[in-house]
């Protein structure tokens, strides 16, 4: 592990300690927790902190990656390398029914695609393994409806999120009572900002997918953003040809839905420096959020993470 303690500020140390406390609490309180691992930077930070939280014991829960079959190839390679390096118990779940039905991000539309390949897939995996709690890397600063999200977010049987039926959280005394079928989503990074995540990645030497760094990549212009041509499945319009540009990603997901920004930031330090001047939000690159107003809140009610 990179030893960079000298660089950790009191600000980051406090956030790290808080996340450790939340993870230990969930492991002590729940029968069968799992960590959702999306391969992104937030997942990377969450995993890094989890390994600290239970040290010297091994991670007392498996990792779950909900794959859609459309993730960047580099993400999959990175995921498998990290899992092997740390000897992690990694579960990869794909909604086979969705694949059979031919659901893809193009013909099906991003709303149906997300519903089937992410939301439904997640529910399938949680139910199949009987997990009663799932750690997620969501932060309150990401998006408006998340600002009111609990750290321990209660889901009724069927995984639905009812904003009116959330338990108040006072003094970090979490009410973790559960009945059969009910579950929790637990967000250890609730109080982190995107900036904190990058500062932490830098200070602690947390490994991240190289897609976060600027490199020349084959891209096409779509909907005001750059989409990477990660494989031959991306349908090109007549006359449309990929061009090579120096781009990086602020968030990672399914490659046809993840927009890149032009950048020369080829190192983490340069990315963090660019962040300081950033004048667009992190989720701008995500095509699924801008479908309609309050899209996120609706997706959450249906059980999207």
Partner 1 sequence: MDAGLLQLPPLRFLTCGSVDDGKSTLIGRLLHDSRLIPEDTLAALARDSRRHGTTGGEVDLALLVDGLEEERQQGITIDVAYRHFRTSQRGFVVADAPGHEQYTRNMATGASNSDLAVVLIDARKGVLPQTRRHAHICSLLGIRHVVAAVNKMDLAGFAQEAFERAAGDFLRFAAPLGFQTVVPVPISARFGDNVVARSANMRWHRGATLIEHLETAEVGPEGERPFRFPVQWVNRPDADFRGLSGTVASGRVAEGDRVVVAASGRAGLVSRIVTADGDLSAAAAGDAVTLVLEGDLDVARGDLLCPPDRRPAVADQFAARVLWMDEEPLLPGRQYLMRMGALWTPCSVTAIKHRIDVDTLDERPARSLDLNAIGFCNLSTARPVPFDPYAENRATGAFILVDRFTDRTAGAGTVAFPLRRAANIHREDALVDKAARVALTGQKPFILWFTGLSGSGKSTVAKLAERRLNRAGRLTYLLDGDNVRHGLNRDLGFTDADRVENIRRVGEVAKMFVDAGLVVLCAFISPFRAERRAVRELVEAGEFLEVFMDTPLAECMRRDPKGLYAKARAGAIPNFTGLDSPYEPPEAPEITLRTEGTAPEAQVEALLERLKALGHPI
Binding residues for partner 1, rule: CB under 8 A, are: 1, 3, 5, 7, 9-18, 20-21, 24-25, 27-28, 51-58, 140-141, 144-145, 147-148, 163, 166-173, 175, 177-179, 190-193, 195-196, 199, 203, 272, 276, 278-281, 284, 293-294, 297
Are the C-beta atoms of residues 19 and 188 closer than 8 Å to each other? yes
Q: Distance between CA atoms of 19 and 78, rounded to whole angstroms? A: 24
Report the C-alpha gap between 146 and 159 in whole angstroms.
17
Q: What count of residues does the chain have?
A: 305
Q: How far is the CB of 163 from partner 1 (least distance, A)?
A: 6
> 100 or 164: whose CB is closer to partner 1?
164
Q: How far is the CB of 17 from partner 1 (least distance, A)?
A: 4
For partner 1, the closer of residues 163 and 235 by Cβ is 163
Contact 144, 293 (CB under 8 A): no
Smaller CB distance to partner 1: residue 140 or 155? 140
Strands 90-94 and 133-135: unpaired
Task: State the nearest-atom distance from the C-beta of 84 to partner 1, in Å.
Answer: 20
Q: How far apart are CA 292 and CA 269, in angstroms?
A: 35
**9 with 62: CB under 8 angstroms?**
no
Pick between residue 203 and residue 227 the one whose CB is nearest to partner 1. 203
Interhelix angle 41-53/73-86, nearest 10 degrees:
10
Q: How far is the CB of 15 from partner 1 (least distance, A)?
A: 7
Residue 111 or 202: which CB sits closer to partner 1? 202
E strand intervals along 62-106: 63-67, 90-94
Beta strands in the chain (DSSP E): 33-36, 63-67, 90-94, 133-135, 152-155, 183-186, 215-222, 225-228, 243-249, 259-262
Q: How far is the CB of 236 from partner 1 (least distance, A)?
A: 27
- Least distance (Å) between residue 9 CB and partner 1: 4
Question: Least distance from C-beta 13 to partner 1, angstroms?
Answer: 8
Q: Specify the residue, 99 or 178, whose C-beta has the smaller distance to partner 1.
A: 178
Q: Are strands 133-135 and 152-155 parallel, antiparallel or unpaired?
A: unpaired
For residues 28 and 43, give the distance between their C-alpha atoms in angstroms, rounded to a whole number: 21
Residue number with CB closer to partner 1 (124 or 193): 193
């Amino acid at each position: 592990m990179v030893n960079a303690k000298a660089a950790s500020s009191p600000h980051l140390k406090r956030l790290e300690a808080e996340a450790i406390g939340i993870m230990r609490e969930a492991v002590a309180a729940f029968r069968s927790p799992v960590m959702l691992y999306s391969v992104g930077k937030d997942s990377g930070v969450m995993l890094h902190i989890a390994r600290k939280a239970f040290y010297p014991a091994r991670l007392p829960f498996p990792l779950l990656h909900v794959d859609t079959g459309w993730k960047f190839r580099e993400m999959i390679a990175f995921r498998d390398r990290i899992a092997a390096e740390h000897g992690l118990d990694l579960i990869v779940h794909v909604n086979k029914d969705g694949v059979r039905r031919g659901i893809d991000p193009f013909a099906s539309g991003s709303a149906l695609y997300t519903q089937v390949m992410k939301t439904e897939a997640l529910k399938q995996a949680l139910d199949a393994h009987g997990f009663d709690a799932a750690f997620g890397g969501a932060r309150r600063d990401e998006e408006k409806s998340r600002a009111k999200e609990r750290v321990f977010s209660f889901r009724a049987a069927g995984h639905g999120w009812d904003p009116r039926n959330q338990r108040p959280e006072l003094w970090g005394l979490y009410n973790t009572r559960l009945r059969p079928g009910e579950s929790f989503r637990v967000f250890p990074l609730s109080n982190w900002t995107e900036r904190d995540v990058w500062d932490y990645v830098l200070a602690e030497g947390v490994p991240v997918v190289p897609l976060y760094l600027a490199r020349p990549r084959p891209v096409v212009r779509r909907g005001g953003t750059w989409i990477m041509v990660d494989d031959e499945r991306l349908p090109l319009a007549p006359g449309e040809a990929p061009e090579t540009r120096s781009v990086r990603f602020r968030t990672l997901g399914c490659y046809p839905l993840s927009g890149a920004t032009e950048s020369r930031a080829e190192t983490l330090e340069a990315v963090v420096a660019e962040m300081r001047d950033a004048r667009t939000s992190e989720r701008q690159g995500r095509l699924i959020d801008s479908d309609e107003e309050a899209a996120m809140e609706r997706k959450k009610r249906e059980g999207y993470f």
